[in-house]
Amino acid sequence: MAQISKPTFGAATLPFPDMATINPVWINSDITTLGGKTRRDVMARKHGYTFKWNYMKVAAYNELEAVINALIPATFVYGKWPQSATPGVSCLGELSARKLESGSGDSSYFSSVKLTLTEVDSRI
């Protein structure tokens, strides 16, 4: 069995998450005709990726935050999901606030963190 690499987002190599989900994201319009039939016009189909860490080190959060704060799409790669396997997909990210879980000082603590990535380009 091959070992799965840690997820990466831009220049940030992320620790293995405590929780990870992949969700379909559809940009669509549903219309009901005069005859009562429902029609759907799909303009885009993408994937959204959500990760949660119960304990993330300061250095890992800072590295991830730098990618997010660039406010431009970055390449996301996670071998666990074929949708984002090498060479990766272009995503925009949203990072939760840090919630102190343990430790103290400015560099020796762990935070709980949630990261949400949304693909930039449609898959249709």
Tens digits of per-residue pLDDT, 20-74?
999 999 988 888 989 999 988 888 899 999 999 999 988 999 999 999 999 999 9
What distance in Å separates the CA atoms of residue 82 and residue 88, rounded to the nearest whole number? 9
Would you call 35 exposed, middle or buried from its count of C-beta atoms within 10 A (0-12, 13-18, 19+)? exposed
For residues 5-22, give the mean pLDDT: 93
Say if pTM beats, i.e. exceeds, 0.95: no
